[in-house]
Amino acid sequence: MTKRLNLKAYGKINLGLDVLRKREDGYHEVRMIMQTVGIYDKIELSLQEKPGITVETNLYYLPNNENNLVYRAADLLMKEFKTEGGVHINLKKFIPVSAGMAGGSSDAAAVLVGLNRMLGLGLTREQLMERGVKIGADVPYCIMRGTALSEGIGEILTRLPPVPQCQVLIAKPGISVSTKFVYGNLHADRLKKGEHPDIDGMAEAIRRKDLQGIAGRLGNVLETVTVPAYPVIQEIKDTMADYGALGSLMSGSGPTVFGLFTDKKDAERAYEELRYGKKSEIAKQVYLTDFYNVED
């Protein structure tokens, strides 16, 4: 039995996000194209003789109890399999928090995968994904990783081919956007046809490995709520476009924005401008990365 394990929990962006309707159970039915990126949190799992779950993080404002998804992930498996002893989880956050990049869900996914391996539980990826949805709608995707079509409330996943590699610039403004506010003010039934992103066209462009076609179809229906309420999101998108991005979009419910670049120098210039230049006041966290692709 492995006593200690180091893991990487990768963030995601949405190349396309459409909301079809609000269901009777309160959840929203979505169609999304999900893509893993190269920014990751670091997680160290250590098995302990003493029962219980302890969580340590590098950010003082993160909870270290059952309000943290990593705790809930460990608790779910350890209760189900009645494991002896406990686990200590050391979480080092680098993915922007509350940013529309599924950082918490990815951390939980890594804990599920890691404990399954350490404790010799023998669960398949699909079985882990079935358990993951109990923690959060994005957790099954974060176990799968790569490029995927996500439907239902986010738990129905279809693997897509890897997208063509490019530079991905990620910028989070110094604001917080409430997911509840965004979905509460979204009226999907009132949106015009052109306001819904072309998810099927995006999937086809990915199958053709057409990066221009992918960039041309970037779309997030939640921007109809966030951009009017938080103009800084559009300002970041415009800045990326000014520096040569093929396309830019808000990820998830925001407020993080990403831009796709094929020219590394353009991407670096945009990074410098948003990180250190005149536009640095509109972005609190800026990263230059690429896609994390999974080949089955």
Cβ 57 vs Cβ 64: under 8 Å: yes
Task: Give the pairing of strands 219-220 and 247-250.
Answer: unpaired
Which amino acid makes up residue 170? I
Are the C-beta atoms of 89 and 66 separated by less than 8 Å?
Answer: no
User: Where are any strands of DSSP class E within the chain?
Assistant: 4-22, 28-48, 52-57, 86-92, 147-152, 156-159, 167-172, 219-220, 247-250, 257-261, 285-290
Nearest to 214 by CA among 289, 270, 164, 149: 164
Do residues 28 and 215 lie in contact, with contact meaning Cβ atoms separated by under 8 Å?
Answer: no
Q: Say which of 18, 41, 107, 138 is annotated catalytic.
A: 138
- Choice among 12, 172, 237, 279 that is catalytic: 12
Annotated catalytic, 138?
Answer: yes
Residues marked as catalytic: 12, 138
